[in-house]
């Protein structure tokens, strides 16, 4: 069955969202992954949005994490402090982040490119809630295209914490123990984090993707799982639900 | 019986400023207590005003502003446009998911400093060229925070304390460009960041309904507006519609902003346009795209602002430029999932 | 441009334990994060249970308890009676305006430690002789606080931090018998008291309506129950009535306790009796006077407890002893200002 | 016109509550004074209750500061943190406290009599919200019968702060500057606090009360205002409203 990169990434991400857990998502691919998970694997997955929406029956993809879709027929229409405090309290299992750069420890830059903070070469939005979610949620995931500019150790600004400088660094910084990056899902492979070194470790490459291609598209040295596998492609069921129910207008999956 | 105090003797600890950022507003809770005692309008009297007047009387050049809602959801567009129209200068802004609101104020060149959590972007819609130009030129002084950090800075102010301990930002460059202080818990010794109370000079919030005294109801999510309303020195509210005081008293649990916090209130139907107003009208994605497109070159953007802001005398004039009630009715249908 | 940081260099400050009181519950936010991750029932499944079972399964001897409502308003009487009936022992209690709830638990000799803000009294109704005897005998270990301090201790826990800075208690004996710590603001240098997060082992809250998953609505004032619900390790909810999940989703802004905080829920009509339940029924002042009167001698009080608690098998049995539906209808009329 | 001590005290207290201000009250005489003030002098006086009720149209005297009367047709039905934080933030002008002992600086004991905290001779309820209100509200008032046991410098426990040990002590303790005890209204006189020494100073004695009687009923030395006056007795209007509208069942005024 034919599928594009975005469909592949969303399908793969959806499988990591366990039932009876809570995920805070933004708009776009992460929201699509959470919706897909709800419809295929985890009917009781609880979706939260950082502006206050909790447990909506999403009628369509939200445009903003604060728009009215995010609490349409929801369980709670709350507030930003309520959602952030629920995260800080340790109740939220998963979140998804995006960014312009990511390093081997899963640290993410969504603030700026350049060296002068007050006069950056390129300015991005900044943390928004990303730093908070990366600090508080137990498992942080990322859905992103992979290229050597994006996957780099020369990260210009750490907006949101991954494992910082390695083992023990999060705890030393005062971040809640046990939390941190979990999976990075790219157009080439699925990457986890090595338990000992806290560095990126490729767990599976996508069908047709050579190891070499992954290496070429990464600006730092990757670890490789001993039991490296081939990513399971999207199932017919995943694709059907994704195309017909989750994103019928192809807002997200049309971007690939 | 356990006693869970880890430290039960006097001890010295270190407070370590963690960021190079500036604090743009005074976090002193005692000074604000005096301000609130002397200046907050405790009279329950008719405070209905006009957009023109509230901006003239309550927004001064140099003020630091906090905007309610969430970027392009339940934002007080009419006041933001009027600030641009009256050419207010050197404003500070709490960039707490500031998307279209930031875009408007930067379009008018009103801002010279900003506490950043989220700026220059419009979420899934893309980045604002004009806002990026302004920020990348260095003309706006920035201090970096996060959405939660800014929300808690409002909350500290709302609680009447000059700081709160938080666990975000730690270990990152966001921390390094913030103005937070590393400290530890007196009971557990755990590391925290202290963030300073944020008391804006002016808070501006759009609500679903209110009485003329300023008792306000909001439907749906609150974002950070209950705290912002309590933190602001002066508070301007715009409301979709006025309701009688009796309506407010029918369900007092729904009042999120009591009158004694409000300095002036203006009825502005469709006041969050082109933003979304829950249960009322959806965001006008077409018009927001037009903004993003117009920003691509400075001359074109000038014309755009002329047409939609400078060239009209008030918010109703603006609504006429985008298709008036006919367009607004379409957005109402979209919001309420009415099939066309 | 001003920079409002008073202290912009690293400095040492003193943390000074200000009170001799004990901290009865661990304020460590990280331990609680793990507990919440591993133990909080995130499954949205039917959690309807019975009073008998929830007390058996969720309240252990030695647990520290937080009770919702306000003394004799919206209190979870059925659970409190069952705790007495099952003779739970050595419980700790958050005495956050604990009036009739305190009276019940002390009547059953269930409590051996208490964080005090308000105990032994029933507000305008007078003092409980039995509760005073117990406290004056020294059999209950006390740490002194205030209503605000306890409310903020819940709020710290709800926010996920191990302490909050507050400005009450300073300079008094209330401070000296608390377990707070004197500290200062990292930004202004102002003096604060730090109070530790309060995470009760069990929270018990009575609400107006809920679905079987535990999504709850409360009408009228919240007191501290939204924070208590978030602070408690285990949360027991009783509800005047169940409603379908669809009802909850109709107005999600009204949900104050989401299902993922709730361990078990029981439908208990008139569950706050003899306390007041806003919009439902007024407090039974006659019966509360009977309690106060019965306490005047220990034997008489024993008989009283036998008649109303030990001698009945459940809460409906208790309601029968006070006149059943007829009496409850009178209280409903009083609450709703219906002339008799 | 005839009146009893309670009617006198409530009438006097009501005159100190300025219009367009906010008062947090408990049940009993303070609530009666606030209601009377609203009906006679200060129609826009805002009444708050510490459990969350704000601006009710009180249909009758509440029995509890958390009962449903405290937000009957109210402006806001909020929460205890909301009210306490409004106080801490500096928005509340007046409050009323009660207690078993009060000293010359207006410090109040509502906790215990005795010397052993864990085994007191007499245990009272404790602070409740009293310490908070005395710490945060700008002006603290008291309505109380006067006798030498109650007005004593041998106070067993300072539950709620008055001026503590005198000038500057509140500020040194970290309490908000500018707040503190304002008036003590007893069955014998009206007492204010001396600006310089922060000690109790009699401002007026009630009709028929000799200075000597006040002295006899006070366990410490009182200051006396240079312009000592006779308290203005309740007006016919005050008494009419108090008896017919505020407390028709004589719950409070019947106690005298």
CA distance D180 to D199: 11
Per-residue pLDDT, averaged over C79-95, amounts to 98
pLDDT in tens, B239-276: 999 999 999 999 999 999 999 999 999 999 999 999 99
Tokens of B305: 């602002």
Predicted confidence at residue B2, as pLDDT, reads 62
Average pLDDT value for chain C? 96
Give chain A's mean pLDDT. 97
Dihedral sign of CA atoms B142, B147, B149, B150 in order: positive
Model pLDDT, residue C176: 98
Report cis status (omega within 30 of 0) of the bond before C274.
Answer: yes
Any domain includes D253: no
Residue of B30, B230, B250 with shortest CB distance to D176: B30
If pLDDT is split at 50, 70 and 90, which confidence band does C7 have?
confident
pLDDT over threshold 90, residue D255: no
Average pLDDT, chain B: 96
DSSP C156: H
Taking an 8 Å cut-off on Cβ atoms, the answer to whether D20 and B44 are in contact is yes
Reply yes or no on whether the pLDDT at A168 is more than 70: yes
**In a 3-state reduction of DSSP, which class is residue B160?**
coil
Mean pLDDT of D122-151: 97
pTM for the model stands at 0.98
Q: Are the CB atoms for D187 and D137 separated by under 8 Å? A: no
Q: CB–CB of A10/A29 below 8 Å?
A: yes
Across the range D122-136, mean pLDDT stands at 97
Low-confidence stretches of chain B (pLDDT beneath 70): 1-2, 340
pLDDT of residue B7: 81
Instruction: Flag whether pLDDT at A256 surpasses 80.
Output: no
Q: How many domains does chain A have?
A: 1
pLDDT surpassing 90 at residue C340: no
- Residue D158 included in any domain: yes
What's the rounded mean pLDDT across residues C34-38? 97
pLDDT for position C4: 80
Name the closest residue on chain D to residue B29, using Cα atoms: D89
Distances B256 to A89, B190, D1 between C-alpha atoms, Å: 25, 34, 46
Cβ neighbours around A2 below 10 Å, total: 6
Enumerate the residues of chain D whose CB falls inside 8 A of the CB of residue B32: 89-90
Q: Which residues contact B200 (CB under 8 A, 6 or more apart)?
A: B25, B63, B64, B65, B66, B92, B94, B228, B231, B232, B233
**Residue D39 located in a structural domain:** yes
pLDDT surpasses 90 at C41: no
Q: Give pLDDT tens digits for D40-90.
A: 999 999 999 999 999 999 999 999 999 999 999 999 999 999 999 999 999
Supply φ then ψ for residue B192, to 5 degrees: -135, 160
In whole angstroms, give the CA distance from residue A87 to residue A70. Answer: 17
Every domain of chain B and the residues it spans: 4-331
Answer yes or no: are the C-beta atoms of A221 and A152 closer than 8 Å: no
Peptide bond into B274 cis (omega under 30): yes
Q: Write down the catalytic residue from A2, A7, A50, A82.
A: A50
Provide mean pLDDT across the span C17-33. 96
Q: Range of D43's domain?
A: 5-248
- Do residue D91 and residue B40 have CB atoms under 8 angstroms apart? yes
With touching defined as 3 or more inter-chain CB pairs under 8 Å, the answer for chains D and B is yes
pLDDT tens-place string over residues A83-122: 999 999 999 999 999 999 999 999 999 999 999 999 999 9
The Cα D20–Cα C81 span in angstroms is 45
A199 located within any domain: yes
| A189: closest CA of chain B, how far (Å) | 24
B112 touches chain A (CB under 8 A): no
pLDDT in tens, D179-215: 999 999 999 999 999 999 999 999 999 999 999 999 9
**Which CATH architecture does the domain made up of B4-331 adopt?**
3-Layer(aba) Sandwich (3.40)
Task: Report the gap between the CA of B214 and the closest CA in chain D (Å).
Answer: 10
Which residues between 134 and 173 in chain C have a beta carbon less than 8 angstroms from any beta carbon of chain D?
135-138, 141-142, 144-149, 151-152, 155, 166-173
What is the per-residue pLDDT for A104? 98
Strand partners, A88: none
Q: Give the tens place of pLDDT for each residue, C220-251.
A: 999 999 999 999 999 999 999 999 999 999 99
Buried b (16+ CB within 10 A) or exposed e, A81-118: bbbbbbbbbbbbbbbbbbbbbbbbbbbbbbbbbeeebe
Per residue in A13-48, pLDDT (tens digit) is: 999 999 999 999 998 999 999 999 999 999 999 999
pLDDT on residue C42: 87
* D216 part of the active site: no
How many angstroms separate the CA of residue C102 from the nearest CA in chain D?
A: 11
State the complex-level ipTM: 0.98
- Percentage of chain A beyond pLDDT 90 is 97
How confident is the model at residue C5, as a pLDDT? 75
Helical H runs in chain D?
5-15, 29-40, 80-88, 130-136, 169-173, 211-216, 236-241
Pairwise CB contact (< 8 Å): C249 & A176: no
CB contact under 8 A, A74 and C36: no
Check which CATH number belongs to the domain holding A43 and give it: 3.40.1080.10
Longest Cα separation, chain D: 49
Q: Would you state the pLDDT for residue B8?
A: 82
Among residues B321, B328, B326, B287, the alpha carbon closest in space to that of B306 is found at: B321
């Amino acid at each position: 069955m034919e599928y594009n990169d975005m469909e592949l990434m969303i399908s793969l991400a959806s499988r990591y969202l366990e039932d009876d857990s809570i995920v805070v998502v933004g708009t776009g691919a992460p929201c699509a992954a959470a919706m897909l998970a709800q419809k295929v694997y985890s009917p009781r997955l609880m979706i939260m949005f950082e502006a206050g929406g909790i447990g909506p029956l999403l009628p369509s993809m939200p445009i903003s994490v604060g728009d009215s879709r995010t609490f349409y027929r929801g369980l709670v229409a709350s507030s930003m402090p309520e959602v952030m405090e629920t995260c800080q309290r340790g109740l939220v299992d998963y979140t998804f982040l995006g960014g312009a750069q990511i390093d081997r420890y899963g640290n993410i830059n969504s603030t700026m490119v350049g060296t002068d903070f007050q006069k950056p070469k390129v300015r991005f939005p900044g943390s928004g809630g990303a730093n908070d979610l990366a600090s508080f949620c137990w498992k942080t995931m990322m859905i992103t295209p992979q290229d050597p500019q994006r996957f780099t150790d020369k990260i210009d600004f750490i907006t949101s914490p991954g494992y910082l400088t390695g083992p023990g660094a999060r705890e030393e910084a005062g971040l809640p123990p046990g939390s941190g990056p979990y999976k990075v899902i790219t157009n080439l492979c699925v990457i986890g984090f090595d338990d000992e070194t806290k560095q990126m470790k490729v767990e599976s490459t996508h069908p047709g993707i050579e190891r070499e291609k992954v290496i070429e598209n990464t600006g730092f040295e990757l670890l490789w799982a001993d039991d490296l596998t081939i990513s399971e492609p999207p199932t017919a069921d995943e694709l059907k639900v994704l195309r017909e129910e989750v994103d019928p207008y192809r807002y997200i999956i049309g971007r690939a | 019986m356990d006693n869970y105090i880890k430290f039960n003797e006097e001890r010295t600890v270190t407070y370590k400023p963690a960021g190079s950022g500036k604090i743009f507003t005074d976090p002193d809770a005692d000074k604000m207590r005096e301000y609130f005692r002397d200046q907050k309008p405790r009279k329950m009297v008719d405070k209905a005003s006009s957009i023109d007047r509230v901006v003239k009387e309550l927004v001064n050049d140099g003020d630091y502003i906090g905007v309610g809602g969430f970027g392009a959801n339940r934002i007080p567009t009419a006041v933001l446009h009027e600030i641009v129209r009256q050419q207010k200068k050197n404003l500070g802004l709490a960039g707490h998911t500031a998307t279209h609101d930031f875009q408007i104020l930067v379009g008018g060149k009103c801002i010279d400093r900003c506490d950043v959590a989220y700026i220059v972007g419009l979420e899934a819609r893309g980045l604002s060229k004009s806002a990026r130009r302004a920020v990348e030129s260095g003309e706006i002084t920035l201090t970096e925070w996060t959405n939660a950090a800014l929300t808690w800075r409002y909350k500290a102010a709302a609680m009447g304390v000059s700081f709160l301990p938080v666990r975000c930002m730690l270990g990152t460059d966001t921390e390094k460009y913030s103005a937070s202080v590393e400290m530890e818990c007196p009971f557990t010794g755990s590391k925290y960041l202290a963030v300073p109370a944020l008391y804006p000079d002016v808070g501006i919030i759009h609500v679903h309904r209110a009485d003329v005294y300023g008792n306000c109801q909001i439907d749906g999510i609150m974002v950070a507006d209950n705290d912002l309303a309590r933190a602001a020195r002066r508070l301007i509210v715009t409301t979709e519609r006025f309701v009688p005081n009796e309506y407010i008293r029918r369900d007092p649990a729904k009042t999120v902003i009591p009158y004694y916090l409000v300095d002036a209130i203006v009825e502005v139907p469709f006041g969050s346009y082109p933003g979304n107003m829950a249960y009322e009208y959806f965001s006008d994605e077409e018009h927001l795209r037009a903004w993003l497109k117009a920003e691509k070159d400075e001359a074109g953007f000038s014309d755009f602002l002329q047409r939609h802001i400078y060239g009209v005398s008030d918010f109703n004039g603006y609504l006429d430029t985008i298709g008036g009630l006919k367009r607004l009715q379409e957005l109402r249908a979209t919001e309420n999932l009415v099939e066309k």
